[in-house]
């Protein structure tokens, strides 16, 4: 998620769940191939398994970008066919590609030929006045014919005109039924659902209903402990669950290294503001961190101060 799932966020999330697959922010192929944005790909080995998401619509450029991502050591390369923003439309990629499945097939074929890891696609159920019941199966069929077998389907349409990217994540209605239908129609494909999932219980219900995976975006960011601390046990059957305090402790060496290399505290702690969401002291934790972390020279002691502001520390 742009501006959210940067490497600091992913490192923090990985401490809460060893098994969930984490995704980068979208990186555009032109920025990687022509713009020298390779530094955006740097990540910590602890983040594995981690998928990089690419945006683009030029098969050769996407192939070159895929090669670069494989060299960096990513575990999966995902093509974005879901982002509705104007900037992305002008570059002819993102959700507008739902209108040209043949081009998406060409893109993923070129990416697969260049890739040492799995190439996957994240898409919508349709855009604008398309009929999702016609468009989505045709899209999956065409793209699967180029060899992609795993899809993440954001279970709502995107409106390319008239809605902001934020509205496009809330206003078009969710259609989980259609995603289930796609799994039944294409049993050989791995179909993961995305959009509006707020809890692990809900994710478990969707998996029990036959889907192969669930991607959780905003809920995992805003309340990471609720989603990630229990995910290994609930979803993957692997016992062992850290406490929030253990996660904070485990972040300290990482943050210390970031500060020592000239980074700012806020770069990392901005992703940690939701750690105590729904818990007593959540507001105090958030306030101490958000007010203090941008001050010049802010250091690790701010984390102790924020912990001390929690009622259980008294
Ligand atoms: C701040 C923000 C940035 C996002 N950036 C991306 C992105 O780079 N690539 C992408 O495929 N989806 C992006 N999304 C969409 C999410 O991946 C997801 O599809 C959407 O939020 C619906 O899932 P959710 O209800 O679990 O959040 C972004 C969402 C948010 C809130």
Domain boundaries, the chain: 7-236, 244-313
pTM: 0.96
Sign of CA dihedral 141, 142, 146, 152: negative
Task: Answer yes or no: are the C-beta atoms of 158 and 168 closer than 8 Å.
Answer: yes
pLDDT digits (tens, 9 = 90+) for 277-297: 999 999 999 999 999 999 999
Fold of the CATH domain 244-313: 1.20.120
Fold of the CATH domain 7-236: TIM Barrel (3.20.20)
Residue nearest to atom 3 of ligand 1 (CA): 1
Spatial separation of the C-alpha atoms in residues 42 and 233, rounded to whole Å: 29
Is it the case that residue 312 has pLDDT exceeding 90?
no
pLDDT bucket at 314, cuts 50 / 70 / 90: very low
Mean pLDDT taken over the chain: 96
Q: Which of 84, 98, 169, 195 to mutate to test the pocket of ligand 1 (most atoms within 8 A of CB)?
A: 169
Range 249-271 average pLDDT: 98
Q: What is the pLDDT of residue 25?
A: 97
Task: Answer yes or no: are the C-beta atoms of 82 and 94 closer than 8 Å.
Answer: yes
Q: What percent of the chain has pLDDT over 70?
A: 97
First to last CA, the chain: 36
Q: What is the pLDDT of residue 240?
A: 84
CA of 55 to the centre of ligand 1 (A): 13
Residue nearest to atom 28 of ligand 1 (CA): 1
Spatial separation of the C-alpha atoms in residues 144 and 109, rounded to whole Å: 10
* Tokens matching residue 73: 């050591």
Q: What is the pLDDT of residue 89?
A: 60
Range 192-221 average pLDDT: 98
What are φ and ψ of residue 65, in 5° steps?
-65, -40
Q: What is the pLDDT of residue 90?
A: 59
Number of Cα atoms under 13 Å in the Cβ half of residue 201: 0
pLDDT digits (tens, 9 = 90+) for 58-94: 999 999 999 999 999 999 999 999 999 766 665 788 9
């Amino acid at each position: 998620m742009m501006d959210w799932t940067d490497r600091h966020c992913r490192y923090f999330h990985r401490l809460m769940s060893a098994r969930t697959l984490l995704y980068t922010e979208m990186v555009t192929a032109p920025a990687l191939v022509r713009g020298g944005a390779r530094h955006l790909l740097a990540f910590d080995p602890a983040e594995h398994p981690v998928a990089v998401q690419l945006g683009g619509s030029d098969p050769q450029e996407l192939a070159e970008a895929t090669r670069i991502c494989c060299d960096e050591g990513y575990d999966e390369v995902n093509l974005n066919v879901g982002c509705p923003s104007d900037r992305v439309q002008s570059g002819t990629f993102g959700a507008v590609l739902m209108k040209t499945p043949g081009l998406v097939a060409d893109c993923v074929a070129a990416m697969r030929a260049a890739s040492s890891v799995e190439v996957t696609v994240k898409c919508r159920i349709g855009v604008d006045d398309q009929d999702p019941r016609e468009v989505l199966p045709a899209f999956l069929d065409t793209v699967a014919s180029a060899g992609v077998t795993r899809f993440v389907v954001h279970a709502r349409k995107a409106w390319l005109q008239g809605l902001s990217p934020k509205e496009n994540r809330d206003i078009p209605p969710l259609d989980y039924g259609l995603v289930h239908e796609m799994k039944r129609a294409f049993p050989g494909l791995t179909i993961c659902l995305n959009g509006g999932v707020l809890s692990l219980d809900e994710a478990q219900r969707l998996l029990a209903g036959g889907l192969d995976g669930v991607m959780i975006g905003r809920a995992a960011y805003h309340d990471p402990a609720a989603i990630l601390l229990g995910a290994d046990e609930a979803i993957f059957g692997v016992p062992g669950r850290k406490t929030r305090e253990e996660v904070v402790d485990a972040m300290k060496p990482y943050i210390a290294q970031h500060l020592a290399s000239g980074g700012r505290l806020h770069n990392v702690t901005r992703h940690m503001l939701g750690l105590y969401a729904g818990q007593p002291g959540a507001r105090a934790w958030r306030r101490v961190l958000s007010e203090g972390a941008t001050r010049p020279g802010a250091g690790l002691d701010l984390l102790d101060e924020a912990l001390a502001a929690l009622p259980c520390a008294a």
